[in-house]
Amino acid sequence: MIVVFSPLLRVNLMYRLLPLLLAVSAFNAHAASPADHFDYQHQSEWHAVHDAFQSPVDIRTADTVAPDGDEPDVIRSQYGEVKATAVDTGHALQVNVPGGDVKIRGRHFTLRQFHFHAHSEHTIDGRWYPAEVHLVHIAKDGRMAVIGVMLVPGDANPVLDSVLKAARKGEAHEVPGVIIPGKLLPRSDVYYHYLGSLTTPPLTENVEWYVLKQPITASPEQLDALRGFYADNFRQPQPLEGRVVTQFDPALLKK
């Protein structure tokens, strides 16, 4: 079936996507330049163009609902070995990568970068975690999807180990060898999904959030190193404002 958009519909679609497309442009510029003009000590002064669907949020598991319909909800990652660059952005340790595909709820996204917050930005039943990694993906239409993964003390993570060896305060350095971003994902496919925003200015909305239920581990030394770069680089949880958080558990589909 071929769908032809009328001129009016095309204009309306571009109007709706414009804020997100501008955010993508800002995101690309941000990835190339570590200079930013905000700080977490004054986050109450951050202002969004729209502030109804902001992130992060506190995920109350008792209030989550199962997804509706027959939509394919599994996250299928195809992250291979990639070269990477560790960048101090001025507010987070960020790793830029040339690609890596993921299929989320039937749509294709490309991994552009991942970065770390310590402690976590999202909370689950009011609980913060020592750190959280955000894997930022962009689709061809400019739509953004972010996978959030919590970090807890345990075995060292090989990706984080390579990144920390390359990272330097205020600089950008190529990570030696290659990394596999998929090693930042847990074994479990269970995740929480909601519509939110970027967690740093410009706080643009219409970002698809997928917060994985199972954390991954990092050694205490790795967590200390993350805090050594940026401690307390997290935004406070924002009101849900009527939003519903869905929980996808593939085990429930087999029953």
| Active-site annotation, residues | 91
Give the closest residue to 218 by CA, choosing from 172, 176, 164, 148: 164
DSSP secondary structure code for residue 82 in this structure: B
Decide if 23 contacts 197 (C-beta within 8 A): no
Decide if 98 contacts 82 (C-beta within 8 A): yes
Residue type, 96: N
Count of CB atoms situated within 10 Å of the CB of 122: 27
- List Cβ neighbours of 224 (8 Å cut-off, separation of 6 or more): none
Per-residue exposure over 160-170, b if at least 16 CB sit within 10 Å of its own CB, e if not? bebbbebbeee
